[in-house]
Chains A and B, each alone.
Chain A
């Protein structure tokens, strides 16, 4: 990535379109990731609770640890690459923004807390269910905001 950082490409139309395209793909990924997790894990607290711990009234079995761990394993990989690309583009375009460090730290920290809290919710106290719900929603929202800020700064002329 050295060439992206050091070469003077500030006025390159090709680079602007390339960065715009990859960020657009990441935005689509974020939307689909939210839909996927609402199917696999659940969209509300009751649904997530049933998925993780089962439901005696509806004879629902809890999710197998193998399936949950595989989802967490994939989430970590996908989140890492999506946020690595997103934050790199964001740093390139917004390096003089005051809140940059806080935004990047928050995004990457929430991104890793989310899958880990889902795993902890399976074994530990129920508070981790709420933690997963909050961190998952906040990191996706923050990633949308960062994507929007990137689009605003890109020069497509």
Chain B
């Protein structure tokens, strides 16, 4: 009989790595919109809401393309551990995973609506990022509970 509990070690660390990846991702996003300047996070959020940094379509594609693959792959790898969970129902896992994929696409393409001029305020990007990160942390939590 194989000792399956040993696999809990890399899975547990993967959750920790993912939290840091999300944190550095949000930090990078805020930096690209002027966090390093004067004022703190709230001033940067205010700036994003009122006048988000104009970004070209090329810049949008440069950021979007690797994230489309990497975030999708990361989401799949984390969510597939729910297949083996005996504490959380498959239905709950399915709803959370599918919602996460929807929020992922919403988050990735939201800045495109600003770049293309459909939306003037940056609220859409902040909302999509908040929903995606919040839901991802929830998924990480339920994987941790299932371990």
Contact = CB atoms under 8 A, between A and B. Distances in A.
Interface centre among B7, B16, B18, B84 (most CB of A within 10 A): B7
B94 interface: no
Contact of A95 (B3, B14, B24): B3
A72 to B, nearest CB: 6
Contacts of B32: 66
Contacts of A6: 2
B43 interface: no
Interface string B4-45: 101101100110111011001101100110001000000000
Interface of A (DSSP majority class): helix
Nearest to B6: A91
Contacts, number: 73
Interface string A101-117: 10011001101100110
Contact of A73 (B6, B14, B28): B28
Interface centre among B2, B6, B27, B77 (most CB of A within 10 A): B6
Interface residues on A, range: 20 to 34
A72 B2 CA distance: 36
A95 B20 contact: no
A95 B36 CA distance: 48
Nearest to A108: B13
Given A2-B83, A65-B31, A73-B25, A84 B6 contact: no
A142 B113 CA distance: 46
Interface residues of B, number: 27
B84 A2 contact: yes
A104 B9 contact: yes
B137 interface: no
B108 to A, nearest CB: 16
Nearest to B16: A112
Interface of A: 1-2, 5-6, 65-66, 69-70, 72-73, 76-77, 79-80, 83-84, 87-88, 91-92, 95, 100-101, 104-105, 108-109, 111-112, 115-116, 119
21 contacts: A2-B83, A2-B84, A5-B4, A65-B36, A69-B24, A69-B28, A70-B28, A73-B24, A73-B25, A73-B28, A76-B21, A80-B14, A83-B10, A87-B10, A92-B2, A95-B3, A101-B6, A104-B10, A111-B13, A111-B17, A112-B20
